[in-house]
Amino acid sequence: MQEPLQLLIELQEIERKIKILAEDKARAPKEIAALEEKKREAETRLEEKKVVLESAMKSRRDLEREVEDLEGRKAKSKQKLLEVKSNKEYQATLKEIDDIGELVRGREDKIIEQMESADALDSQIREHKLLVAEAIKKLEEEGAQLEKEAKKADSLMLILEEQMEQLKPKIPSDLLKKYQFLRDKRAGVALAPVQSGTCGVCHMSLPPQLFIDLQRNETMMNCPNCLRIIYWTGHEAYKQSSQPE
């Protein structure tokens, strides 16, 4: 019974390695997509800050033009002050000059606020530019590494698949069918190692006599609970196959 069972153990180990490599390879596109999304998010935030800054600068330019217009009106009012002939008209012109001065001060206060806001936005934009640069660098470096690992996984899977195809003809067809049936019905695991009388997959204790018979390694046996093909890891032929990598 040793050779067929040992071949099944080897087959299951090859399939396990192929599955791990396939899962690792499948993660690569997702991780690259996540890196690309982070880069897009950083770029979007940067553009948003630029839009806000441009809007603030436009508002500031509008205020500066308003101040310029008001100063022009103020200058005309001062000129008019020299030409008035009545006290009433003189007082009205003075009030007009004061009112314009108040409007100018209000606009200038807003301009100062806009300048302070622009300085803060400039600082934020510099920070976001750094974040974008970091995201691009990370995407390039980690993306290249992930693609390299995916190619390596492809190469390893080809080697393992070739080993698997060479191994299958050595296994009796009825035994191979049983193995494939159990694998498909038992979450991809058809064989279970037994240590200290316990199934290594479902973790149920074997009946004492069954465990004694299993150690003799004379016939194919199944776990009475999960029905997987079982083998005793204490047997010299199966020790190496049972060691996790």
Plot region of 195 (φ>0 → left; ψ -120 to 50 → alpha; else → beta):
beta
Please report which confidence band the pLDDT of residue 239 belongs to, taking 50, 70 and 90 as the band edges.
Answer: low
Residue 242 has pLDDT above 60, yes or no: no
pLDDT in tens, 20-77: 999 989 988 999 999 999 999 999 999 999 999 999 999 999 999 999 999 999 999 8
Residue 244 has pLDDT above 70, yes or no: no
Q: Which two tokens stand for residue 103?
A: 């409007």
Q: Where are the beta strands (DSSP E) in the chain?
A: 191-195, 198-199, 221-222, 229-232
Q: Residue 198 — φ and ψ, nearest 5°? A: -120, 135
The domains of the chain, with CATH numbers, are 14-169 (1.10.287.1490), 172-242 (no CATH)
* 74-83, 147-156, 192-201, 209-218: segment of lowest average pLDDT: 74-83
Query: What is the mean predicted confidence (pLDDT) over 141-157?
Result: 93
What b-and-e string marks burial along 86-124, b requiring 16 or more CB atoms within 10 Å of the CB?
eeeeeeebeebbeebeebbeebeebbeebeebbeebeeb
Give the whole-angstrom CA distance, residue 94 versus residue 78: 8
Query: What is the mean predicted confidence (pLDDT) over 192-219?
Result: 94
pLDDT in tens, 86-144: 898 889 989 999 999 999 999 999 999 999 999 999 999 999 999 999 999 999 999 99
The rounded mean pLDDT for the chain is: 91
Residue 241 has pLDDT above 70, yes or no: no
